[in-house]
Structure 1
Amino acid sequence: MTSQQAPSHGPKGKRAVWPVPLLTLSLAAAGLGGTYTSHAAVVPEAPASATRSTTATCVDKVFAGMTGPQRVGQLFMGGISASNPDQKRIQVLRQYHVGSVFLAGRSTSGTKATRSLADSLQAKADTVSGHRVGLLVSTDQEGGQVQVLSGPGFSTIPSGLVQGSWSTSKLRSEAAVWAKQLKSAGVNLNLAPVADVVPASLGRNNGPIGRYDREFGHTAAIVTSHSNAFAAGFAQSNVLATLKHFPGLGYVRGNTDTTANVVDSVTTSTSASITPFRSGIKAGAPFVMISLATYSKIDAKHQAVFSSTVIQGLLRKTLGFKGVVISDDLGKAVAVKSVPVADRALNFLSAGGDLVLTVEPNLVPAMTKAVQTRMAQNAAFRTQVDQSVHRVLAAKQQAGLLSCG
């Protein structure tokens, strides 16, 4: 998400390559791009025929064993309060086989209490062919005014602007510590780092990012080096990171969480502000979050989150991203309020997205039913959805949430 008003949301120096076990594939070799390597095995986004790895076979095996509703559930991430989880909302996620959760709001209860919550959610995860398919448990742990989890065991993380003033080696080292804290709390995916470039001329007049000092700096060079360092630290501690908010929220004024019709009339497909995303993708970023703004010089007719030009064209084809494409919040954000609930999911997935984020789980039933209906009617959509499920399962394999051993 961008900031949830009192922001709760919303991803270089030398590129780091981390040592991995013999059985681990690099992200590039596994079809997830790049050279941050992970400590967990990675699988291709879609099954290869002749040279399948054992991990690819595992993803295929789990996919084959899933029911239709279980597959569709892997395409959704539902919000749960980190401090006061609502059992009715948790039950909705379980009923619809939702495969990922977002810890939202603010919690000061520390790592142990957060781990207890995460473990209780994991205990409800689906089992397929005798193997539990673990949940992606995510949060917004950027720093400054956007740090969902705090209290005993969690560092107080400074703002993006402060992090951007550090050396990349210091940031990478600190980020590895923050990621290790999340890991100990049962969180395996961070919806960070912020890769948005806010020009100095706009500064705090930029509603979603600059207002809260969420940016690493005001130039593409600083944001690129530091978003990469942040992501590399997370890769070191084996927590998945997310570059956001593609193709950048640095040149807008309105905050898409609280404002309709936010338009970027500056950014093009070759703008320097795209550089942090391009570099992060080359370095192996496993997730990219798509913005809810409209980019008039890229696709004036669609919000980025609903634009195949942005997702399939610019992100997938031009930048070569093969990982998981996650939406910004399609639940409560004012930017999508005029779009019917079911269409938010359908339009994002049709545009090439993989994982629908809604901070309001009560919207999941309408969304999943619409997806199932469309799959039954449209073979091309069904194929696209199957590829998205494979990407999500591949990310789970990478996070150690999927095992066929």
Structure 2
Amino acid sequence: MNKSLFVALLLSLLISPALADTSRQPDNLSIKIGQMLMIGFRGMDARDGSAIEADIRERRIGGVVLFDYDVQSKSPVRNIDSPEQLQRLTSELQQRSSIPLFIAIDQEGGRVCRLKPSRGFPPTVSAASLGKLDNADTTREAAGSTAALLASLGVNMNLAPVVDLNVNPNNPVIGKLDRSFSADPAVVARQARIFVDAFHRHGVIAALKHFPGHGSSTTDTHKDFTDVTATWSKEELDPYRALIREGYSDPVMTAHVFNARLDSLYPATLSRATIDGILRQKLGFRSVVISDDMQMKAIADRYGLEEAIRLAIDAGVDVLIFGNNVSYDPDIASKATTIIRHLVEKGAISPERIDQSYRRIMALKRRINQPRP
């Protein structure tokens, strides 16, 4: 039996019981809710009694997101110390979960790079450098190296590539950090396509970001309310349109940007008009929608936790990220699961809406670590 077939069979055995059992268990709803959460945590391991071990075992969270630096404590001690340590951590995390976890990271290349040379990882190239060169072979080599590294470390989701257009080169969170391939949507789509294909060859899931476009902003959603009403253009949808038309079915990550031309009330992550109306209905996207970090100030400073969760799920978000890095709350997974259950029980969110997300998530998980030709 070849390796790919063995992995597929193993995953089938792991996931199928979870799908079958949920129809009989009284705790069926808890499993589905847990799978909608991706949580950040502190720690270089997932030992018995750790907070993340409890979140996996008790809250049944569906994924984790890893960082190399702890923003709140201003400490380089977070989740990543060396290749050997990270490989042990991802293995421990998967062993804790009865359903395979999404283990996600932001390994874009250049300045947004969690796996740094100072910790024994190979150097990377920024999207801006690759887009400027716009050479398929060079991009394929860079993307393939990243994908092979992630796969060897047990990281199965890269929150990349960025498909924001470099509309504003002085953008503090996109342009100035060299995270955009280009201002030209054709270049962005072409470069992103190579990255996605390279990830797939190594069994790594991609995530296009930040929908519907963060490239024209003048402020950073990590820190502030960010209004792109006057600067955003429909052209920023072009990379998504092109890739979805070609069959892209990995996740799309939302932006917390506000655009009154798309929704006069809510930023994109909380906007049904933007996520369901544009991404799903107009562009035809059918796979998993992931939020940007729900603890970023563009959301957390303006909405209570329950309201933000309700609006995001109602808008069409399937996986809610709580990175626990912009701010830190060791109980965030427990709070979020309790809130979602309460919203379902009081009728603010329908069980059918939870089922929609669960089906999309489980369909995506069947592809974890299955390299494609």
The alignment's TM-score, normalised by the length of structure 1, stands at 0.78
Measure the CA separation in 1 of the matches of 2:193 and 2:220.
25
Given that 2:90 and 2:153 are in contact with CA atoms closer than 8 Å, whether structure 1 keeps it comes out as yes
Whole-angstrom CA distance in 1 between matches of 2:207 and 2:187: 18
Greater shift in the superposed pair: 250-259 or 84-93: 84-93
- Does residue 90 (structure 1) correspond to residue 52 (structure 2)? The answer is yes
1:12 corresponds to: none
Instruction: Give the SS at the match of 1:215.
Output: coil
CA contact 1:264–1:295 (8 Å) conserved in 2 = yes
1:147 aligns to what?
A: 113
Q: Aligned AA for 2:113?
A: Q
Runs of 4+ in 1 over 6 A off after TM superposition: 20-23, 53-59, 84-87
Matched with 1:395 is 364
- TM-score, normalization by structure 2: 0.84
Q: Hey, what's the Cα distance between the residues in 2 that align with 1:210 and 1:145? A: 11
2:289 matched residue in structure 1: 325
Deviation at 1:343, TM superposition (A): 2.0
Residue 329 of structure 1 aligns with an amino acid whose one-letter code is: D
Which structure's residues are more often helix, by fraction?
2
Shift of 1:232: 1.3
- 1 CA distance for matches of 2:4 and 2:104? 28
Distance 1:272 1:381, change over 3 A: same
Deviation at 1:99, TM superposition (A): 1.3
- After TM superposition, the structure 1 stretch with the greater mean CA deviation from structure 2, 156-165 or 89-98, is 89-98
Q: CA deviation at 1:82?
A: 7.0
Give, in whole Å, the separation in 2 of the partners of 1:158 and 1:246: 23
1:273 aligns with 2:273: no
Q: Where does residue 159 of structure 1 map in the other structure?
A: 126
Gaps of 5+ in 2: 70-78, 325-329
2:138 aligns with one of 170, 184, 200: 170
Go from structure 1 to structure 2 and tell me whether the alpha carbon gap of 1:291 and 1:110 turns closer, same or farther (over 3 Å shift). Answer: same
Please state whether the residue corresponding to 1:347 is helix, strand or coil: helix
CA distance in 1, matches of 2:18, 2:288: 15
Return the match for 2:187 from 222, 231, 236: 222
State the SS of the aligned residue for 1:378. coil
**Compared CA separation, residues 275 and 170, structure 1 to 2 (3 A):** same
- Given that residues 82 and 114 in structure 1 are in contact (C-alpha distance below 8 angstroms), is that contact kept between their aligned partners in structure 2? no
Aligned to 1:104: 67
Q: How does 1:205-244 map to 2 (within 5 A)?
A: 205-244=170-209
Partner of 1:9: none
Aligned to 2:102: 136
Structure 1 residues 318, 63: closer, same or farther in 2, change over 3 A?
farther
Q: Does 1:64 align with 2:29?
A: no
1:180-233 superposed Cα distances (whole Å, 9 cap, x missing partner): 11011110000000000012xx21x21220110110112112111111111111
The 1:247/1:172 distance shift into structure 2, 3 A limit, reads same
Gaps of 5+ in 1: 1-19, 24-38, 42-52, 126-131
Say yes or no: does 1:193 pair with 2:161.
Answer: yes
8 Å contact from structure 1 (residues 241, 285) kept in 2? no
Query: Which residue identity does 1:112 align to in structure 2?
Result: E
Does the CA-based 8 Å contact 1:59-1:390 persist in structure 2? Answer: no
RMSD (CA atoms)? 3.0
Taking a change above 3 Å as real, the CA distance of residues 191 and 22 of structure 1, as seen in their structure-2 partners, is closer
